[in-house]
Amino acid sequence: MLVPMIDARCLKFMNLQDPFYHKQFSKTNPGRLWFTLKARWMEYSSKCRFLKCAIPLAAPVSDGIQVPDYPSSDTAVTPPQMRAILQALHATETVLGVVAEVGVYRGVTTAILATNTQRSYIAVDPYTGYGGSENDLELMKQRVGRLPNVTHLRMTSGLAVDQLDGAGVSFVFIDAVHDYVNAYFDGFVWGGRLSPGGMIAFHDTDAINFAGVQCAVWDLLSDTSLGFELYSHVEGTVILRKAL
């Protein structure tokens, strides 16, 4: 098997484009074709690098946080993952900035997190396929519509991050498209808005089917210029903290 050799600078250069930017063009557009080729290469490369990109497990701080009952059929987030996310949410309560979730689906995690913070909660999901339908949007509205601190931005991650203006981010949960180019892009742009001490959580990090997510998180964590440190890691969810 051909194992790709790509250094960190090359990776950063290749992955700073919003993957959804290219979808406005026809599938035969040369720029879109080139990006698709690159995205497929990054998936292949991630599968080759999967074992190298394994991030060590790191138990969340044990602070007695209870996970409420929730309909597990409407989310892939497991109770141990939800507990780790809730713990990080609590740990960032005094950090400046909004809370955000990128990829909301039926709003199960949104409802739990938003009721457990005093902060404004930005829920980002375009519901245009890629895992989210009009039916999912309706279920999300039923769950989340009554929560005063939640604002739904019906747009993609890259457009939503530009809506923040000067507002910082204290906690963000990345759970949208599970491939390398999207996970890296989402982690880079949202992670770049984190206040010192803020945290970014990634879902679906440890499965070979989502090797791109694991490698994207590994690459973000390994790039010391970005200032991330590992905060906690339970199977399937990695949480990074922006250094103080």
Chain contacts with ligand SAM (rule: CB under 6 A): 20, 75, 77, 101-105, 108-109, 124-127, 130-132, 136, 156-157, 175-177
CA distance 239 to 224: 16
- 129: which residues sit within 8 A by CB, 6+ positions away? none
Within a 13 Å sphere around the CA of 48, how many CA atoms are in the beta-carbon half? Answer: 12
Q: What's the closest the beta carbon of residue 184 comes to ligand SAM, in angstroms?
A: 13
The owner of tokens 């910082």 is 168
When the beta carbons of 142 and 222 are compared against ligand SAM, the nearer one is 142
| One-letter amino acid of 192 | G
Helix (H, G, I), strand (E, B) or coil at 182: helix
When the beta carbons of 21 and 41 are compared against ligand SAM, the nearer one is 21
When the beta carbons of 36 and 48 are compared against ligand SAM, the nearer one is 36
Q: What are phi and psi of 111, to 5 degrees?
A: -65, -40
β-sheet bridge partners, residue 234: 237
CA distance 137 to 126: 9
CA 198 from chain centre, in angstroms, equals 14
Q: What's the closest the beta carbon of residue 151 comes to ligand SAM, in angstroms?
A: 14
When the beta carbons of 35 and 105 are compared against ligand SAM, the nearer one is 105
Residue with smallest beta-carbon separation from ligand SAM: 132
Q: What's the closest the beta carbon of residue 1 comes to ligand SAM, in angstroms?
A: 29
Q: What's the closest the beta carbon of residue 219 comes to ligand SAM, in angstroms?
A: 19
CA distance 25 to 170: 34
Q: What's the closest the beta carbon of residue 78 comes to ligand SAM, in angstroms?
A: 10
When the beta carbons of 74 and 223 are compared against ligand SAM, the nearer one is 74
Q: What's the closest the beta carbon of residue 132 comes to ligand SAM, in angstroms?
A: 2
When the beta carbons of 53 and 123 are compared against ligand SAM, the nearer one is 123
Is 118:93 a contact under the CB 8 Å cutoff? Answer: yes
> Greatest CA separation found in the chain?
54
